Structure 1
């Protein structure tokens, strides 16, 4: 018995961006475009989007203030702009930060102001069917430009407040429609390719081992893991290869959808604690904690760890599940080295004071994935 929910209509494949005019045309005549700063190299893409929408007489109001780890202040500014301009729908073009920002702007439209304390304390369960926040929430279209965050197919929006990263879950955060066009990803530099690609791996892996996993999510998860293991190193070497980019985009979409329906494991909240204090990019923070996580949770997940280890190394088919699972630690470390993500917190110049904030974060005492002491030990392994 399982429940699976994926309401976003997905337009996947090379060249699908050109269909944006048809997709957007049914949502109204005025659009809030949510992106990072309108500068090179992405300014050409934003101009192309505006040209496509202008071709069907859609007015574009461009909010280009998104930064990595979007903050409550940044989202509030976009919310106020959407309200003052009376836009008909929101269009996000970018990675997870842009899509998450757009989600909350669309979700809260119609409110007098955003009550952040209420959002952060109320919408905490990815599987809850919440009441609508407002009857004037806006339609959302997402165009992803990275292969990793999966935000175009999830109900989650991660927003920072001070040193805390908070996830807002709501079924209205699922974009109405999304475009996944691998042609938009060929200019990603190797570092971002690696970080977002590993993020896709973690979505697939953590949803695979989550007790809420179902046959639907397991199929997606294992395929996503296989694609990242096979194609991420190749995309690092040959970033303009459209076939490699397409395979990683499949992994991203499968990983995000399985995450939305099965949930994460310990590394995600641990990486968000790290990111809130240090602002290390999400995928890189995940890479920091993964070796320690694999070591600490091996005995709890022998069968599934063994299956994943054999995806990395087919020679492990000839050994027991216990031995294959124990090998996953080395396989993960080898893979992280191959894609340039084998780092500790000290490699990011995280100070001892910052590490004390991380390891003493009260959230560690309330996470359902393990004892506070076990999670702290992962953090110590990561430092």
Structure 2
């Protein structure tokens, strides 16, 4: 537990069913008159009508609107810079990102590219952004990344076959809008992967070396909300109650990691996404029980504290028994939610393991948060648990 800790998040959070219909009521938060807006999204989101809903509201207020739907599912440096080239000739008063983590992260990055004379690669790392960006409004359509409330953005570096983070307070949005109705239509695989991603954020934040009273509050409430709703959201996607719990739980997970950071699960997941294009939520879900089993002896008491918020009956058990029940429940979820359990399905072979481990070992920003040091050989062992 850290002696000195800090917390930062979005300027204003608006939440609730149909809150998307009230977006323009909150534009005053931007702090300037909004005459021009850029909406960033993807074709699949646009087809659901969400982009048009926002566009119509803005145009009714005589705001000029441009829409860009060119964001890739796992955006690369080149993809983001191509979108920037297409959109940078116009000056915008606000950027609005509506979609999953890829869209939200790209919107953040575009906002600072528009005000900083830098390329994406210049911004990689922590506190490399010099000036505030164009104000942003972030609207998640999945319950997973928590990207809407974090100062982080993840980008794929193809030549390094790795995902790398940009971390800056200037990436925090002016407004976050959380409407559970936007997540009701999520397909089962996306519900599962993004939901487990959100749970991973909270659990890793809770056992992080940087865990603190602020991050603990958000992490434990996130764990409680997600644990009580993830299976229901998966099996009954039209349950607005379950979807709302997942959406708020995901946001709390983002708030937790903002203060405490994620750890070895994410570090090992990044090369899987960078080299084999395994979706981030799937990679985290696959790794989570195995990394927690590895960490067990270093964070038994912390894992034990998670059992009750997860809804597990553990009153008479020892801390070690409670912690093991937590890991068992996570493994059970991966089966119930049909999370893939074999890296071979994505083309990973045994001869790839050494290179994956070396790549993961370079993600020191996250590995330093892990409660237990992980050697390269131990990383190889964890990866091999997912080869069968």
TM-score (norm 2): 0.90
Counterpart contact for 1:82–1:105, Cα < 8 Å: no
The 5-angstrom pairing of residues 294-305 of structure 1 reads 294-305=292-303
Pairing partner for 1:86 from 80, 88, 91: 91
Counterpart contact for 2:71–2:83, Cα < 8 Å: no
Q: What is the distance in 1 between the residues matched to 2:150 and 2:331?
A: 28
- Aligned match of 2:131: 134
RMSD in angstroms over aligned alpha carbons? 2.0
Q: What is the distance in 1 between the residues matched to 2:363 and 2:214?
A: 32
- Aligned match of 2:53: 48
1:375: Cα distance to partner? Answer: 2.4
- Aligned match of 1:165: 163
Counterpart contact for 1:333–1:342, Cα < 8 Å: no
**1:168 to 1:204, Cα distance in 2 relative to 1, 3 A:** same
SS in 2 for 1:90: strand
* Consecutive aligned runs of 4 or more in structure 1 exceeding 6 Å deviation: none
Pairing partner for 1:200 from 198, 201, 212: 198
Pairing partner for 1:17 from 3, 17, 20: 20
- Aligned match of 1:288: 286
Q: What is the distance in 1 between the residues matched to 2:363 and 2:180?
A: 40
Q: What is the distance in 1 between the residues matched to 2:352 and 2:72?
A: 22
- Aligned match of 2:143: 147
Q: What is the distance in 2 between the residues matched to 1:196 and 1:65?
A: 21
Runs of at least 5 residues in structure 1 that lack an aligned partner in the other structure:
125-129
Q: What is the distance in 1 between the residues matched to 2:59 and 2:336?
A: 44
Check if 1:323 corresponds to 2:317.
Answer: no
- Aligned match of 2:38: 32
**1:19 to 1:364, Cα distance in 2 relative to 1, 3 A:** same
1:342-363 CA-to-partner distances (Å, cap 9, x unmatched) read 5121233334454443133263
SS in 2 for 1:183: helix
Q: What is the distance in 2 between the residues matched to 1:265 and 1:105?
A: 27
Q: What is the distance in 2 between the residues matched to 1:174 and 1:18?
A: 23
Q: What is the distance in 1 between the residues matched to 2:199 and 2:363?
A: 26
SS in 2 for 1:85: coil
- Aligned match of 1:127: none
TM-score (norm 1): 0.91
SS in 1 for 2:119: coil
Work out the number of aligned pairs and report it.
373
1:88: Cα distance to partner? Answer: 2.0
Counterpart contact for 2:358–2:376, Cα < 8 Å: no
**1:254 to 1:365, Cα distance in 2 relative to 1, 3 A:** closer
1:158: Cα distance to partner? Answer: 0.3
Pairing partner for 1:97 from 95, 102, 111: 102
